Amino acid sequence: MKPTRDAFSLVELIAVLVIVSLVAASVSLRLSGPVRRAAMDDLAGRLAAFDRRARVSARRHDRDMQMAFDLSRGEVSWAAVGDAGGTSHTARGASPVAMPRGCRLAALVVAGGASAAGRKTTVGRAVVRVSRRGLSPTYAVCIETQRGERTWLLAAGLTGEVTRIDDDAQVREVFAALGGRADAR
């Protein structure tokens, strides 16, 4: 009579664990790209909504506003021009937009005023003014992931329409057409 086995051997259990680990790692790698894109899409939507709120608030309160892009801290806020410390965004119920993990504000390009030259900021704090009529200069903000994937949000100054652009060259072309040169790299 042949002896029967009631359990798996240690080698069989380890082999199953290795296979399950490989499958889990494969699934994790396949999902990381869509998760990053979803985080970037969400951030793009929040920034577009933030721009709209700043414009509506400027018109509603008949007051100039400023949107502050803090590239070093990864935060976007807005306040009425002249508010002490520029913190009225919290008093009006508009929380600052913080970057999700793995995303950062890489650059901000603002169409120049009198000189018609695009001003690019890559570090520190930059401000985009919104007039009491809800108008601003055209600007573009670059969002970048840890893996170097980039997308630009271009906000048209007159209409406030926000367009997503995934090509740096297109951003340069837009600002060149506006009469200024912008280095969107």
pLDDT digits (tens, 9 = 90+) for 28-52: 777 666 777 787 788 888 888 889 9
Q: What is the mean pLDDT of residues 174-182?
A: 72
CATH number at residue 21: 3.55.40.10
Name the pLDDT band for 90 (thresholds 50, 70, 90): very low
Query: Is pLDDT at 181 greater than 70 in this prediction?
Result: no
Predicted confidence at residue 30, as pLDDT, reads 73
Q: What is the mean pLDDT of the chain?
A: 80
Is the CB of residue 43 less than 8 Å from the CB of residue 143? yes
Query: In the chain, pLDDT over 90 holds for what percent of residues?
Result: 16
184 is a domain residue: no
- How many Å apart are CA 140 and CA 120, to the nearest integer? 9
169 is a domain residue: yes
Name the pLDDT band for 94 (thresholds 50, 70, 90): low
DSSP for residue 76: E
Range of the domain at 116: 10-177
DSSP for residue 110: E
Query: Is pLDDT at 54 greater than 70 in this prediction?
Result: yes
2 is a domain residue: no
- How many Å apart are CA 97 and CA 111, to the nearest integer? 22
Total of domains in the chain: 1
